[in-house]
Amino acid sequence: MVTPDLSVRLGSLRLRNPVLTASGTFGYGLEFLPFLSLEEIGGIVVKGLSPKPRKGNPPERIVETPSGMLNAIGLQNVGVDAFLAEKLPELRRHDTAVVANVFGETIPEYVEVCAKLDAAEGIAAIELNVSCPNVEAGGMAFGADAASLARVTRACRDATRLPLWVKLSPNVTDIRETARAAEAEGADAVSLVNTYVGMVVDVERRRPVLANGCGGLSGPAIRPLAVWATWQVSRAVAIPVVGMGGIASGRDAVEFLLAGASAVQVGTASFVHPDASVRIAREIGSWLAGHGLASVREIVGTLRTGKEERR
């Protein structure tokens, strides 16, 4: 049996396989070294980086939900300077793509972080977090409005030569509008979806469980919604799409690839099984081999909805 070729391209960026880890679920990658080899996945997307360190929101910040979890971490991170000085040198020792997720409360803050990353060695791409629902400023405030998203994308495009991805929020009326805005302003790819806004209530205290009140819902519960969004966006833009949302197996990942994603990100599954991303990459290969396919690229965007036969 021929081993399938799992390599994919996202614009100018080549990945050994289509599996990356999602920002906010995999630390800076180094924390997971006892459990897996970073060389076995296509890449990692590190925790969102801001100009200065952030403590994030007070506890409680995470609560389990049926088939998922609700989080309100609040983009806690060491700051871009500490990342470049302390984390990136260690990451450069590993042969995997490092994608830096960027967050700001204002457009100049996004630009500041992008410019510093642009000057660093070892960054494969930048992902703009314009979709976090757990902060009071920035994040989803930009991603929920196509015009605002366009402005931050253009400013960051002008600040870096690196491949630029824009991470889209599903908490919008039509996610295709924000995807088109990102593409029009120079994004090289879009990644989707970030978490859905939700709330869990402690009925005895009559209060939200999370100190923030609301949080972002992730995990298998959102996968059908995320696959649908991926299908919509992949047909609306010409740039590559990176799909995510509840992926826990190779078959889950194949759903996103068939729906039009060129690559996927694994998030919440890593909390349950730290080596989930490696296992999922292997399972994609096994699925392809079992179907007699030589390359993962053969299935990207090949979803048949049934409408084709009725035309």
Residues belonging to the active site = 132
The pair of structure tokens assigned to 29 is 């990658």
Residue at token pair 């590190």: 46
Rg (CA), the chain: 18
Query: Are the CB atoms for 50 and 77 separated by under 8 Å?
Result: yes
Residues 6+ apart with CB under 8 A from 6: 16, 17, 18, 281, 284, 285, 288, 295, 296
| d(C-alpha 303, C-alpha 256), whole Å | 9
For the chain, the straight-line distance linking the first and the last C-alpha, in angstroms and rounded, comes to 37
Q: Count other Cβ atoms within 10 Å, centred on residue 94.
A: 16
Q: CA 24 to CA 267: how far, in whole Å?
A: 8
Q: Which of 21, 80, 23 is nearest to 54 (CA)?
A: 80
Q: How far apart are CA 18 and CA 191, in angstroms?
A: 13
Q: In what order do the strands lie in the sheet with 215-218?
A: 62-65, 68-71, 215-218, 196-198
CB 206 within 8 A of CB 192: no
Q: Which residues have CB under 8 Å from 221's CB, separation 6+? A: 65, 66, 67, 68, 246
Cα–Cα distance between 66 and 69 in angstroms, integer? 8
